[in-house]
Amino acid sequence: MSAAVFVLLSLAGGIGAVARFVADGLVRSRVAGAMPWGTVLINVTGSLLLGLVTGMLGAQLLSPELQVVLGAGFLGGYTTFSTASVETARLLQERRVLYALGNLLGSLVVGSAAAALGLVVGAAL
């Protein structure tokens, strides 16, 4: 990896983390309740975008370097599996089993479907 790609990867990761913070804050300020909708939205949109980036790489519309910067950098900073895991565990501790299952399975199923959609769209561009 070149020094330029490393710097861009690092900057993109920081920008992705800031985008996650802002998006989560916007969702939390508008939607109340036990379900962590901000994290769900972030991970589903991140999955869609990573599928799109990967599909575009496969269709040779993106360079491997740009895929690393966007995928591992920005989207790696934007998405957050660890937060989703902690939120699911917190819901279980609070005995909100249906919310925990919805968070876990919903994020996994919808996120995977979004990633698949992104792959198809990215490859078709």
| Percent of the chain at pLDDT exceeding 70 | 100
Rounded (10°) CA dihedral 41, 78, 122, 119 = -70
Residue 17: is its pLDDT beyond 90?
A: yes
Q: Is the pLDDT of residue 1 over 90?
A: no
Cβ atoms 27, 71 nearer than 8 A: no
What CA–CA distance (Å, rounded) separates 124 from 54? Answer: 12
Q: Which of 25, 29, 36, 42 is nearest to 102 (CA)?
A: 36
Average pLDDT along the chain: 96
Q: Does residue 110 surpass a pLDDT of 90?
A: yes
- Cβ-defined contacts of 12-17 (< 8 Å, 24+): 12/69, 12/70, 12/73, 12/74, 12/77, 13/72, 13/73, 13/74, 13/76, 13/77, 14/77, 15/74, 15/77, 16/73, 16/74, 16/75, 16/76, 16/77, 16/78, 16/79, 17/77, 17/78
Band of pLDDT at residue 106, cut at 50, 70 and 90:
confident
Is 83 a known ligand-binding residue?
Answer: no
pLDDT at 77 over 90: yes
Q: Dig out the tokens for 105 from the structure.
A: 């399975």
Q: Has this prediction a pTM greater than 0.85?
A: yes
79 is in an annotated binding site: yes
